[in-house]
A = this chain, B = another copy of it.
Amino acid sequence: MPVRVVGFDGDDTLWHSETRFHVTQGEFRDLLSRHVTGVDVDARLAEMEMKNLSIYGYGVKSFTLSMLETAIELTEARLPATDLDVILGWGKRMLMEPTELLDGVEEALQGLDGRYDMLLITKGDLFDQESKLARSGLGDLFLGVEILSEKNAETYGAVFRRRGIDPTDFVMVGNSLRSDVVPVVALGGRAVHIPYEVTWQHEQVPEESLPKSGWWRLPAIRELGGLLESLDGPGRVLGVT
């Protein structure tokens, strides 16, 4: 079946994101270890993020607010405001960092330019994602940008309707099985999974809930052009699953 539209996730597919959260989280752990001992700071922060997800949604601002709340809670409000100011500063740093593209992204996208309609379909904070895209230098390659508060069958379905996309013409490319593969395949689309070096726990999916077909895994985005070409062709055998 020929491919007409290719959707790309942003964070950890086109540009680095999760490693930055990891770096900040390490600093957060160090800061709190000066006030409390014997506490699994990472676990408590992850719990706080999940508890706050329905109020704050995704993104750096939400992460910053959850770090502040965790720090106050774990120290029973004993930590000084100067430390909270440091945490505020980490949030700003994350929001202002240059967008660092993953290896091979620019070449891969340029190789597809003109062959497919390319969309950026990402989730998270609207302002932060637009700002990252602007700093990425990739903006002109995309026919459109969709920033969703959550990626699931309902929100992908709305994008397909709004843009007149037939799911059978569509391939989604991303690092998250949960957000980029499962819902798209459920709607009759296809997907390419390109794992990132780190996966946020929240994005993990149990193996048995993965679709049996309709998606492929690639080690790096530079192999995407070849895979898409083979999907276009009449039933060529692929060296990937």
List the interface of chain A (C-beta within 8 A of B): 52, 55-59, 61-62, 64-65, 68-69, 71-72, 75, 77-82, 84-85, 88, 91-92, 95-96, 125-128, 130, 144, 147, 149, 162
4 additional contacts (CB under 8 A) given A58-B127, A81-B84: A52-B92, A65-B91, A72-B88, A84-B84
| Complex CA distance for A127 and B128, rounded to whole angstroms | 13
CB atoms of A84 and B65 under 8 A apart: no
Please give me the residue from chain B that is nearest to A62 by CB atom. Answer: B61
CB atoms of B55 and A96 under 8 A apart: yes
* A-B contact list, 11 entries, CB within 8 Å: A55-B92, A61-B61, A64-B65, A65-B65, A69-B85, A72-B81, A77-B80, A79-B81, A84-B84, A127-B149, A130-B149
This chain: how many copies in the complex? 2
Select one of B68, B85, B147, B162 contacting A88, CB under 8 A.
B68
Q: Which residues of B contact A64 (CB under 8 A)?
A: 65
Where chain A touches its partner, the secondary structure class is: helix
Select one of B59, B85, B130, B149 contacting A72, CB under 8 A.
B85
Q: Which residues of B contact A72 (CB under 8 A)?
A: 81-82, 84-85, 88
Q: Which residues of B contact A144 (CB under 8 A)?
A: 162
Select one of B65, B80, B84, B92 contacting A61, CB under 8 A.
B65
CB atoms of B81 and A75 under 8 A apart: yes
Query: Given A56-B95, A126-B149, does the pair A77, B88 have CB atoms closer than 8 Å?
Result: no
Nearest Cβ distance between residue A9 and chain B, in whole angstroms?
16
Nearest Cβ distance between residue A110 and chain B, in whole angstroms?
23
Nearest Cβ distance between residue A93 and chain B, in whole angstroms?
10
Most buried by B among A61, A62, A72, A95: A61
Q: Which residues of B contact A88 (CB under 8 A)?
A: 65, 68-69, 72
Please give me the residue from chain B that is nearest to A148 by CB atom. Answer: B126
Please give me the residue from chain B that is nearest to A75 by CB atom. Answer: B81
